[in-house]
Amino acid sequence: MRQPLVAGNWKMNGSRASIAELLGGLKAGIGQVTTAEVAVCAPAIYLADTRAQLDGTPVAWGGQDVSVHASGAYTGEIAGPMLADFGCRFVIIGHSERRAYHGESDQTVAEKFTAAQAAGLVPILCVGETLEEREQGITEQVVARQLDAVIAHCGLDAVGEGVIAYEPVWAIGTGKTATPEQAQEVHAFIRGRLAAVADKVRVLYGGSMNPKNAAELLAQADIDGGLIGGASLKADDFLAVCSAANR
C-alpha cells in the first residue's frame, strides 16, 4: 500500500516570524496525523529556519524548485546539492507557475527531475492542464506529453522513485477544485501511463484542496495525497487536510 503524502507549497509567502508561528502550530498538532507522510516546501531563504524547527519531528521539508546544474556560474539559482545540504527530502519540479512565468519547458522540467534525484532528493513532479486545454478536451494529451518528456529523459524506473502531483492549472489558487470524479479520472490515466511502476508511485492532487473538500478527494482510489498551496499557510487547515489522509 502506498503511504499517503501531504506536502505544503508555501510559494513566495511568509516571514521568519510567520513561519515560526506556522511551524510551531504544525509541531503541536502533528500527533493527530497518524498515517500520512507530511512535508512543507519552503522558500529557499527560509530553509535554514525550517530545518532548525523541524529537525527531529516527523515533518519533512523541501524546496520549490531546483537548478538543472549542480554548481557554477548561474546567478540566483539553487542547486540540488544545496537543498540536500539543508536536509531537504523533497523538491517541487515543474509547478505550473514555473512553467507559465519562468518559461520552463517539458525538457527543462525533465532535466530538473534528474538533477533533483542526482542530489538524493525526491522530486514532486507537477503536471496538469489549463482551463482552455480542458475545454478543448485535450487534458490527457497534455498530461501525457508532460509525463512522457520526463520518462524519455530519466527512464520509467527513475520516475517510479519520484512523486507525481496532478494539478489542474484552473484549480490552483482559484478556489475551484476538480470534482473527486474529475480528479480520479486523470489520476487513473496517469497511473496507467506509468505502466510497470504504477503500483508504487504516489500521485497527489493539487488545486484548492482544503479541509472541506480533502476527505472526498483523498477517498478516491488513485489519489495518494495532496500538494497544498493556500491551505498550507494556516497550521490548523493544513493539519486538517493531513488528518483527512489518515486511513
- List active site positions: 95, 167
> For residues 62 and 206, which CB has a smaller minimum distance to ligand PEP in the complex?
206
Nearest residue to ligand PEP, scored by beta-carbon proximity: 229
Least CB distance to ligand PEP at residue 139 (A): 17
Cα 169 to Cα 58, 107, 126, 166, 237: the distances in Å are 30, 19, 10, 9, 22
Pairing mode, if any, of strands 202-206 and 163-166? parallel
Is position 209 an interface residue for ligand PEP (rule: CB under 6 A)? Answer: yes
Least CB distance to ligand PEP at residue 174 (A): 7
Q: Tell me, by CB under 6 A, how many residues bind ligand PEP.
A: 14
Least CB distance to ligand PEP at residue 241 (A): 9
> Is residue 22 within a helix (H) or strand (E), and if so which, with residue range?
helix 16-29
Least CB distance to ligand PEP at residue 212 (A): 13
Q: How far apart are CA 108 and CA 132, in angstroms?
A: 23
Q: Which residues pair with 165 in a beta bridge?
A: 126, 204
Least CB distance to ligand PEP at residue 56 (A): 27
Cα 1 to Cα 130, 199, 221: the distances in Å are 31, 8, 11
Query: Near ligand PEP by CB under 6 A, which window of 23-31, 46-54, 192-200, 222-230?
Result: 222-230
- Chosen residue from 5, 6, 33, 227 binding ligand PEP by CB under 6 A: 227
Is position 154 an interface residue for ligand PEP (rule: CB under 6 A)? Answer: no
Is position 9 an interface residue for ligand PEP (rule: CB under 6 A)? Answer: yes
Q: Are 93 and 109 in contact (CB under 8 A)?
A: yes
Is position 208 an interface residue for ligand PEP (rule: CB under 6 A)? Answer: yes
194-212 CB burial, b ≥16 within 10 A, e <16: beebbeebbbbbbbbbbbe
> For residues 14 and 206, which CB has a smaller minimum distance to ligand PEP in the complex?
206
Q: Are 124 and 165 in contact (CB under 8 A)?
A: yes
> For residues 71 and 179, which CB has a smaller minimum distance to ligand PEP in the complex?
179
Footprint on this chain of ligand PEP (rule: CB under 6 A): 9, 11, 167, 172-173, 206-209, 227-231
